[in-house]
Structure 1
Amino acid sequence: MSDWLNRAMACAAIYHAGQTDKAGQDYIFHLKRVADRLSGDDQAVAWLHDIIEDTCYRMASLQQAFPVHIANAVDAMTKRGGESYATYLNRVKTNDMALRVKLADIADNSDPERLAKLDEKTRQRLKKKYETALEILLQEGE
């Protein structure tokens, strides 16, 4: 296991401590499942992919703690305030690591077992969101 992966796992454990997902499970399990779908430095990005959006951890700290390629991928995956979802996804597509991690993230979030734990309205909203995301992410030449 790389030093970057160990550091990413530690950061995620500290900064996401106490957070739960929409189904009420510890959020760290989502990060682990996403990372388990990937390899190499993509796994470090998977552990960190929501840390800027969902915690008090800041990009400047991430840039000091991790190599530029990992920080750039996390930055590409961080949705900005006021940014449309389509604009966000088109930025994700510009970074190969971010794209691989986002596809793994969507695969985990759209897992039928996970969705089954949600109410029908939320389940339908998320299914549509993930279908739209895949359409945008997998479009050629955008």
Structure 2
Amino acid sequence: MNLEKAILIAGTAHQGQVDKAGAPYILHPLRVMFSCKTQEEQICGVLHDVIEDTYVTLDDLRKEGFSETIITAIDALTKRSGETYEEFINRILLSPIACQVKLADLRDNMDLTRLSQANKADYARVKKYQSAMDKIKGFLEVHS
């Protein structure tokens, strides 16, 4: 496991991307990473959007030497084309690491203080994220 390598890959892959507030996008995966406890979770946290939002593939991460545990969690954290949000969240439940990373991701995404002004769509998104967070937390309580 190499957290430094994961940070470098994410920084390069997200270069030039900005978030809804216009800030460098890489700040989001870094905040998610810092919210995670274990090194595996931190690696997945910083890489959680690279497959969905950049040119990086799971095979690229394999070639970089990341473990299948990491690859499986990152795959679970990647929403597939045509997949509903509920199906996506249900797939995350199959990976304990992905569950922890998604909770950190949701917490960061629900922080509207980064936006200069929140609108109806932002509040609707927070409601959807809260529902997903409740589902993941409930699952973890039962299966811990």
Q: Give the TM-score normalised by structure 1.
A: 0.90
Q: How many angstroms does 1:57 deviate by?
A: 0.7
CA contact (8 A) 1:93 1:137 kept: yes
Letter in 2 for 1:69: T
1:71 corresponds to: 71
Residues 1:35 and 2:24 are matched in the alignment? no
Q: How many angstroms does 1:30 deviate by?
A: 0.8
Q: How many angstroms does 1:118 deviate by?
A: 4.3
Q: How many angstroms does 1:15 deviate by?
A: 0.5
CA distance in 2, matches of 1:45, 1:107: 16
Letter in 2 for 1:128: K
Q: Which runs of 4+ in 1 moved over 4 A?
A: none
Q: Percent identity?
A: 37
1:136 corresponds to: 135
Q: How many angstroms does 1:84 deviate by?
A: 0.6
CA distance in 2, matches of 1:27, 1:98: 20
CA distance in 2, matches of 1:117, 1:95: 35
CA distance in 1, matches of 2:137, 2:91: 13
CA distance in 2, matches of 1:45, 1:111: 20
Secondary structure (helix, strand or coil) at the match of 1:27 reads: coil
CA deviation string 1:36-61 (max 9, x = no partner): 11132211100100000000111111
CA distance in 2, matches of 1:38, 1:132: 20
Pairwise CA RMSD: 1.7
CA contact (8 A) 1:23 1:118 kept: no
Letter in 2 for 1:49: H
Q: For residues 118 and 55 of structure 1, do their structure 2 counterparts lie closer, same or farther at Cα, with a shift above 3 Å needed?
A: farther
Secondary structure (helix, strand or coil) at the match of 1:107 reads: helix
Q: How many angstroms does 1:138 deviate by?
A: 2.5
2:3 corresponds to: 5
CA contact (8 A) 2:112 2:118 kept: no
Q: How many angstroms does 1:18 deviate by?
A: 0.5
Segments of structure 2 that go 5 or more residues without pairing to the other structure are none
Mapping for residues 71-90 of structure 1, pairs under 5 Å: 71-90=71-90
2:12 corresponds to: 14
Letter in 2 for 1:45: C
Segments of structure 1 that go 5 or more residues without pairing to the other structure are none
2:98 corresponds to: 98
Letter in 1 for 2:2: W
How many residues matched? 139
